Amino acid sequence: MRRIGQVVRATSSLAVARSSDDTYPDLGTELIDEDLDDVGTVVDVFGPVERPYLAVTTEADNTAMLVGRTVYAR
């Protein structure tokens, strides 16, 4: 399990996580939270090279609850 970063924004089916450094997971990587619950799958990487943002598709009932949570690569 590798720490990826923190969720900073959310919509009904998409969460945006900010990477904690300049490394990031490959597209298609499944992300989990600190409780080992599934968060979603990385579908895009964008933004500054130093700390990119990750677009994560999610099937959570309330995606807004993910904001502020730390995510990890499985």
Q: What is the pLDDT of residue 60?
A: 75
Cα-Cα-Cα-Cα dihedral sign, residues 35, 36, 41, 47: positive
For residues 43 and 74, the model is more confident at: 43
Q: Which domain holds residue 41?
A: 2-73
The length of the chain is 74
pLDDT tens profile 29-39: 999 999 999 99
DSSP state of 65: G
Q: What is the CATH number of the domain that holds 26?
A: 2.40.10.230
What is the number of structural domains in the chain? 1
pLDDT tens profile 9-60: 998 889 999 999 988 999 999 999 999 999 999 999 999 999 999 999 998 7
